Amino acid sequence: MLSQKMEQELNKQINAEMYSAYLYLAMSAYFEDQNLPGFGNWMYVQAQEEMTHAMKIYRFIFSRGGKVELKAIEEPPREWDDAVKVAQEVYEHEQKVTAMIHNLVNLAREEKDYGTDQMLQWFVSEQVEEEDNADELLQQLKLIGGKGQGLLMLDRELAARQFVDETQQE
């Protein structure tokens, strides 16, 4: 059984994961509007991943006898200056999510909630991958100056990304 505090914090994380999905969907729309469908695809796949993260926590709360409380999702930005700025925001956002996951792990350990701690270890590993992917995108964009032929070549590469629900591969 989850403590009231843990249940509350996990519900906040569901909201944060859904906001992440919403943010990446807004970024996808931005790139589609910029005629960069590969970047749009990368962000769309990212949005799908974030929703599966939210649903993993959602299902976990119920499995521990808790109650899910869905709150309003903050409105994401709609416009950015360029692709580099978007990638920078993605990287910073993933760092913020990592800190939130670490705070949940700390709470689980303080409460000796070993089941929640174990579930959260999946997220700890996932965030290492998320930050790495975001940083790689950012560094590639910086390398090419965020424009020109390099941008178009990267756009074609990003179009190949496909969604895989890693939460189901346990």
Instruction: Please give the CATH topology (third level) of the domain spanning 4-158.
Output: Ferritin (1.20.1260)
Angle, helix 37-63 to helix 114-144, in steps of 10 degrees: 170
From residue 80, alpha-carbon distances to 28, 85, 106 in Å are: 12, 7, 35
Domains of the chain, by residue range, sit at: 4-158
- pTM of the predicted structure, to 2 decimals: 0.94
| Tens digit of each residue's pLDDT, the chain (170 residues) | 999 999 999 999 999 999 999 999 999 999 999 999 999 999 999 999 999 999 999 999 999 999 999 999 999 999 999 999 999 999 999 999 999 999 999 999 999 999 999 999 999 999 999 999 999 999 999 999 999 999 999 999 999 999 998 888 65
Rounded distance between C-alpha atoms, residue 73 and residue 20, angstroms: 10
Torsion sign, CA atoms 118, 120, 123, 127: negative
Cα(139)–Cα(84) distance, integer angstroms: 9
Query: Phi and psi of 114, rounded to 5°?
Result: -70, -30
